[in-house]
Amino acid sequence: MTYSCGIATPHVLATAAAREAVERGGNSVDAALAAAAVLAVVYPHNTALGGDLVALIRTPDGRIACVNATGPAPRGVSRQDLAARYGDMPVTGPDTITVPGVAAGWAALHEAGAALAWPAHFTRAIEHAAATPVVRGLAEAIAGAADLIAADPGMRAVFSPGGTPLAEGGTLRQEALAGTLSTLADQGVRALYAGSVGERLAGGLRRLGSPIDTGDLRAYQAELTTPLSRTFDGHRIHTSPPNTQGLLLLQALGALAEQQVDDPLGTGAGRLATIFHHGILDRTRHLGDPRFADIDVAALLDPARLRHLAPAASPAATGRASGDTVAVVAADTDGFAVSLIQSLFDGFGAGILESGTGILMHNRGSFFSLSPGSPNVLAPGKRPAHTLMPVMATRAKQLAWVNGTMGGKAQPQIHAQLLLRLLGGDGPADAVAAPRWIVGGLELGQPEDTISMEADVAAPARASLAATGAPRTELPALSEWAGHAQSVAVHQGGALEAGSDPRSDGSAVVAIR
């Protein structure tokens, strides 16, 4: 019997590594891991070994689990100290670094269903760390982050060698990272959390001003949890629970159903925008680490509440909504599937590349609040509220779609629009490429009810969005500010179809062996 695996990623080299893993006997889990490792090398403005990961994994028995590999604040952090020094959480720098969860997430996924040995997933990533071409998206990010790169010696050495920023077609060399990945391949994930790599990383970060130490690394492990899910239009939609914002997707879909909104991507777009705006406010009011904050998910998703969502006044935006993240999706004919999201949060994360290990660090801690009354207030050992949210959809217990997207705080909105198009009959390639609009300030100071529309959004949706009276801005067609999504469809009968967003540098393939 022919085996096939649908794969979509935001970088052609990651897709190629995933395909090779399948051809060598791997399944969807192996494909996702090989792609994720490559992306941590070739797409460093969006993801790195120093970032976080959240994933859904489906096994052939139909069970879906969530891997939460989001890292906590260091044990030595002090909210009072940061409030005195900064007022609000800084956007970059050593105080925005939380424990990186990516490698622990990879290990959890590998244990949950990979067919290949652990070292096999690092082969292409190590090769690309030695030398890889700079693609368009990375080149644009390097140009846009010139000041951030110039301020950090580790970043300067990698992204602006000899004082000249790398441009498209140039060669990115990360020798220290290649060595780190080789050690992880040989010694396993404990090399980072309880071994030589972790010792070098913690020491380097401490010298740069981060309170993270080896004890923080040793104490960390990824969490395996039960996904959140709800029924919508004859399908069951599955996503990640708090501390992630997955519940906002279920809230939006539930509100569409309860309010019986017609044509939410056309004449009903204005009503959908109002629902999205309410989700933004709910994220601020309610989302945090459930180990520290009481988050009543059932109340937030109560049908009676969803029938009457009515946003109040809009606060100012807290940062760019697009995020700097990658999504890898894969599904195979054996019944395995993975939606994997990993991220640095902002472009190049904290703006710190620890030169001894070559690891670029995320700034996920910048999403913490310093307000004592917030459910997302900073505390030692606490995970921040998180934007990463993988998605799967099932139909009568059979897998229908595996979706993922970059997009930061806008991920629930992108997922909702993607699902509505898939449910409306679009294939994955058309659904991820379709024009989008986003509610929420894309820049500091913009109100959170601001609607940013790509230039090719259709006239009925434009008119409906305009009728809301909310501020509106225009984006070019296929703008990365509207995120980039990936999708694999599993059709009735088991045929696979994959689509990669043209907003990224990626590709989609159905690998066969």
Give me the active site residues, please. 325
Task: Give yes or no for a contact between 355 and 480, defined as CB atoms under 8 angstroms apart.
Answer: no
Phi-psi region of 242 (alpha: psi -120 to 50; beta: other; left: phi over 0): beta
**Which is nearest to 57 in space by CA: 109, 9, 18?**
109
What b/e sequence results for 410-447 when a residue is b if at least 16 CB atoms lie within 10 Å of its CB, and e otherwise?
A: bbbbbbbbbbbbbbeebebbebbbbbbbbbbbbeeebe
Helices marked H in 195-318:
196-207, 214-218, 247-258, 269-286, 297-300, 303-306
Dihedral angle, C-alpha 284, 286, 290, 296, nearest 10 °: -160
Task: Give yes or no for a contact between 427 and 363, defined as CB atoms under 8 angstroms apart.
Answer: no
* Chain centroid to CA 436: 18
**Which is nearest to 347 in space by CA: 369, 325, 317, 321?**
325
- Residue 415 CA to residue 426 CA, distance in Å, equals 14
Task: Give yes or no for a contact between 30 and 114, defined as CB atoms under 8 angstroms apart.
Answer: yes
Task: Give yes or no for a contact between 289 and 242, defined as CB atoms under 8 angstroms apart.
Answer: yes
**Which is nearest to 15 in space by CA: 512, 513, 511, 404?**
511
- Residue 164 CA to residue 253 CA, distance in Å, equals 48
Amino acid sitting at position 497: E
- Residue 7 CA to residue 4 CA, distance in Å, equals 10
491 is written with which tokens? 């059709």
- Residue 287 CA to residue 264 CA, distance in Å, equals 26
- Residue 497 CA to residue 495 CA, distance in Å, equals 7
Task: Give yes or no for a contact between 375 and 68, defined as CB atoms under 8 angstroms apart.
Answer: no
Residue that has been written with the tokens 């997933």 in this structure? 121
18 is written with which tokens? 């995933």
Task: Give yes or no for a contact between 402 and 339, defined as CB atoms under 8 angstroms apart.
Answer: yes
What b/e sequence results for 312-338 when a residue is b if at least 16 CB atoms lie within 10 Å of its CB, and e otherwise?
A: eebeebbbbbbbbbbbbbbbbbbbbbb
Which residues face 340 on adjacent strands?
Answer: 55, 328
Q: Where are the beta strands (DSSP E) in 52-163?
A: 52-58, 64-69, 132-133
